[in-house]
Structure 1
C-alpha cells in the first residue's frame, strides 16, 4: 500500500518584489500626469497665440482701412493734398470744380486750426474731396435731396449728410431780399439762433447741433438755381452769414465761400448778406469772404449799411427839429 502525501507549497513573496511593483505603478502614474499637464499647457498656449494673432490681424485691417490711423492727428502732407487736388480737377465733367476754385478752399482748410469745422451746402462731385481734406475735423453736408443724402450716407458711411426742404424760389429774389431788410431788427437779425427764427431766408429746420457748432469754413455750392422755380442759394448765403456772425466761441473769423459767383442770385445775396467789405478774393466762379463775430445787438450786415442808417437817422432828427 502506497501512501500518497499531499505537499502544500507555500510561496512567499519577498518584500523587495512588492515594493518594485508599487514603484512601477508610481512611475507610470507620474509619466501619465506629466504628459497630461504638458498637453494642457500646450493647448492653452496655442489658444492664446491664436487669439493674439487674430486680434493683431483685426487691428491691422482696421488701421489699414482708416486713413486717420495713417496720419494720426497731423495735417495731411502737402504731397497728398496736391495729389488729391490734381486728380479732382482733371475730370472732363463740366460740373466739377476747376483747380482755380479748389485751391483757395483747400488752402484755408490746410491753415485751419485742428479740429476744423466745415459746413457745405450741396452734395457735389467734390464731396469726398472735402471730407478727405478736412480729415481731422468735422465736415457736415446739407442737401435739398433727401434720397441722394441717404444714398451718399449708405454708400459712404463716413459722410455726415442731412437734407433740408427749401421754400424759396429764385424768381422771388427781389422780394425775399426786401423782406430781410424790413425785418433786420426782428426776425432777420444778423446775430441770432436761426432754430427759433421765422425769417423767410433763414433755414430753421436743420439738425439742432448745426446751430451749436462754431463753423470755421462754410461753402455754399447748392441748391440748384437753373430755372425760375428752383430754390436758388438765397437761404444758404443768408444762413451762412448769420452762423458766422453768431459764433459763441472758437476763432472769431469765419471763411465763407460762394461757388458759381457769376450768377445773379449769388452775387446779389453775397453783397447784401456777406458784404463787399468782407470780400477778400473773387475769381471767375468763386468768392471768398471772411466774416467776424458780431455783437448780439447788431442790426446791420455791412458797415456801409450802418453808415447809411446813421445818416438817415441824423437826417430824420434834423427834419423833425426844424
Structure 2
C-alpha cells in the first residue's frame, strides 16, 4: 500500500500581481470598447437626424416651389375669349355670358392666397377649359361614363377625373323628393359626411378624400337629364348642397352653378336643395347660388322656409337678373 503524500503548491506574489494587472487591463479594454460603441451610436443618430431634417426641409422647399401661380390674366382672357367665340362650333351648350360668369368666380377664387377647389359634375366640351381657368387650384371632374373618363385621363393625365354610376331616373323626380323629405332627419340630412350616407340621392362612391375637401366652387352640368330614362341631376344637386353646408363656416360659402336650370329637374331640385334664398343671379340658363351652413340646417332643413317643391313654375330669365335679397 502506497502512502499518499500531500503536495504543496506555492504561488509567488509577483505571479498574482501579474494576473490582477491582466484582469484589470481586460476590464478597461471592455469598458473602452463599450464607450466607443456608445459614442458611435450617438454620432450615427446625430447624422441620421440631421439628414432627416435636411430632407424634410428640402421636401418643404420643393413643395413650396411647386405651388402654382394664378394663370396670367392675358392667358386667362384669351382662353375665355376663344371658348366664347367658338362655343357653338365645338358643340358647347354654354353661352358666352354663362362662360364669363363661371370664369369671373374662378378668377376671384384664385386671387386668394389658398388654391381654389373646383368640383365639376359632367364631362363635357368645357372640361379642359375649366381645368385651365383653375390652373392654380385643384379641379375634379365627375362623369357617369367609365369609358370617357378613362379616355380623358389617358389623353390628359394632369386632369383628375372619376366616374360614378347613377341609379336615379328623371321620371323618378317627385318620388325621390318625397323620399328625401321623409329622410330629412336621417340619411338625407343637409349637413353630414356623404361617404357614410345611404340616402338615395347621395353620391357616396367617390374616393374618400373627395369628401374632406372644402369645395370653393361646384359646377353642375351633368349627368344627362333630357330623357325620362336619363339619370338626371337630382343626385348632383343634392350632393352639392350637402357638401357646401358640411364644410367649416370659416372656409366661407360655396359658389354653386347649375346649368340648364330652366328644365324641370334642375329648377325644382335647385329650389329644394340649394334654395331660392341663396340664388345670386341667373345668366341665360345658368343659376348661380352661394351656399353655406345656416340655422335652418341645424333644424334639419335645407332652406329657411323648409323648402317648397315646385313652389314656382317660372323659369329663370334669359337675361341676367339679380335675385331678390
TM-score, normalising length: structure 1:
0.70
Q: Tell me the number of residue pairs that the alignment of Structure 1 and Structure 2 aligns.
A: 238
Deviation (angstroms), 1:268: 0.5
Deviation (angstroms), 1:78: 2.5
Within-5 A mapping of 1:108-257: 108-112=105-109, 113=112, 114-248=114-248, 251-257=251-257
**C-alpha distance in 1 between matches for 2:131 and 2:84:** 16
Q: Is the 8 A contact 1:237 1:274 kept in 2?
A: yes
Deviation (angstroms), 1:142: 0.4
Residue in structure 1 matched with residue 7 of structure 2 by the alignment: none
Q: Is the 8 A contact 2:90 2:125 kept in 1?
A: no
User: Any gaps of 5 or more consecutive residues in structure 1?
Assistant: 1-67, 308-322
- Which consecutive segments of 4 or more residues in structure 1 shift more than 4 A? none
Deviations for 1:201-230, whole angstroms, at most 9, x for unmatched residues? Answer: 111111111111010000000000121110
**C-alpha distance in 1 between matches for 2:249 and 2:306:** 26
Residue in structure 2 matched with residue 84 of structure 1 by the alignment: 79
Structure 1 residues 184 and 268, CA gap change in structure 2 (3 angstroms): same
Q: Computing the radius of gyration over CA atoms, which structure comes out larger, 1 or 2?
A: 1
Deviation (angstroms), 1:96: 3.9
Residue in structure 2 matched with residue 286 of structure 1 by the alignment: 286
**C-alpha distance in 2 between matches for 1:302 and 1:262:** 20
Is residue 299 of structure 2 the alignment partner of residue 302 of structure 1?
no
Deviation (angstroms), 1:98: 1.7
**C-alpha distance in 2 between matches for 1:287 and 1:131:** 20
Q: Is the 8 A contact 1:191 1:294 kept in 2?
A: no
Q: Is the 8 A contact 1:191 1:298 kept in 2?
A: no
**C-alpha distance in 1 between matches for 2:126 and 2:304:** 34
Deviation (angstroms), 1:94: 4.0
**C-alpha distance in 1 between matches for 2:155 and 2:299:** 43
**C-alpha distance in 2 between matches for 1:132 and 1:252:** 24
**C-alpha distance in 2 between matches for 1:288 and 1:115:** 21
TM-score, normalising length: structure 2:
0.70
Q: Is the 8 A contact 2:68 2:137 kept in 1?
A: no
Residue in structure 1 matched with residue 311 of structure 2 by the alignment: none
Structure 1 residues 118 and 303, CA gap change in structure 2 (3 angstroms): same
C-alpha RMSD over aligned residues: 1.9
User: Any gaps of 5 or more consecutive residues in structure 2?
Assistant: 1-64, 309-325
